[in-house]
Amino acid sequence: MIEPVGFTASVVGITTAAIGSIKFLYTTIGDIKDVPTTLRNIKSDLKALEPVLQKLLTELEREDSQVLLTNTIKGAVENYNSAYSTFKERLDHWIRHATKYKTFWAEWTDRVRVGIFEQGTINVFKGRLNDYKSTLNIALSTSSVLTVARQESIIKEVKDSILKGNKELLNREKDRADRELAAIESSLQQLSVSIRDEVNKESKQNLEQLLEEIQEEKASNEFFRKTCEEALLKTKNIHNRIEQEIKNTKADNNSKAVAGLINTSGEARNIKQNISDTDTKGGALQALELSIVWTFRFQAQRMNSGDSGLTI
């Protein structure tokens, strides 16, 4: 496990690098002569992502920023940096190849097949930018909502209203991600057919590269959808006063797994649990939602026997 301080530093580092790459791309695109609308619009997407990353840096400087230190935050920024590297490589190729021409995008009109491929790459990058921006927004806003909801000084009605609003937002975002995923999968199917039927070697290679990029866009969409689902679950648990969540517990080959309240104090009587997705195979045994009475009894037996640990 990464130490909190080191983890914070790593997030700050990759976020700072991401902001630098945004500024570089923004300037590079702005310097291109006769840039088409499709590429020019990326400047707007880059401009929209930068303040989200700046907000992340600001939040990381707060003393209570530990709530933000999740793999979701780091993963989204790392994935943006990966998308940037891919797109910058394509942009560098276009610029080098266009030095033969009077303007940067002369080849766009002269070679339709390559032009369509380039436009597809641009659209994929725009889609990935939007996914990463949305992922960070969801992670940051949900962290803020949950922090407020845990404050004892805020009355229940206000907390319920805030949590309800966040659930509605997350459901809308998840529905949008689902629609976008359907469109991406449709594009992948159509592109696969085009690759199969394409006879021109160069065009086929371009289409295969575009297929890989769209698959990466699908991965970014799935990352965003997963973030929405996890944020929705956390919001629901806080709303329902569930303080402990246990899921995906498995036992097999005659093993035993225990999940729930184990070796707890009397305060555990007030803890609500959500235990789900349990699985046993091969004669295995699972004990779920252990009772407080059993725990107290086990503690007494352990003290009498001098045992200092739990053996399953």
Residues 197-243 pLDDT 10s: 888 888 888 889 889 999 999 999 999 999 999 999 988 888 776 55
| pTM confidence score | 0.70
Residue whose C-alpha is closest to residue 209's, from 117, 286, 88: 117
Strand partners, 276: 247
The angle, 0 to 180 degrees and rounded to 10, between the axes of the packed helices 156-197 and 112-149 is 160
Q: In whole angstroms, what is the distance from residue 42 CA to residue 129 CA?
A: 9
Locus of tokens 């990759």: 14
Q: In whole angstroms, what is the distance from residue 229 CA to residue 252 CA?
A: 28
Residue whose C-alpha is closest to residue 42's, from 23, 33, 31, 29: 29
The H-assigned helical ranges of the chain are 4-30, 37-60, 71-97, 106-110, 112-149, 156-197, 201-239, 292-305
> Degrees (nearest 5) of the Cα angle 30, 35, 39?
80
pLDDT confidence of residue 304: 44
Q: With the C-alpha atoms ordered 268, 271, 272, 278, is the resulting torsion angle positive or negative?
A: negative
**pLDDT tens per residue across all 312 residues of the chain:** 444 567 778 888 899 999 999 999 999 888 877 777 777 788 889 999 999 999 988 888 776 665 565 677 888 888 888 889 888 888 887 777 655 554 554 454 444 444 556 788 888 999 999 999 999 999 888 888 888 888 888 898 998 999 999 999 999 999 999 999 999 999 999 999 999 988 888 888 888 988 999 999 999 999 999 999 999 998 888 877 655 555 566 666 666 665 554 544 444 444 445 556 666 666 555 554 443 333 334 444 444 444 433 333
Q: In whole angstroms, what is the distance from residue 255 CA to residue 92 CA?
A: 56
> Residue 298 is encoded by which pair of tokens?
């086990």
Region label for 151, one of left (φ > 0), alpha (ψ between -120 and 50) or beta (otherwise): beta
pLDDT confidence of residue 122: 87
Count Cα neighbours of 139 within 13 Å in the Cβ-side half-sphere.
29
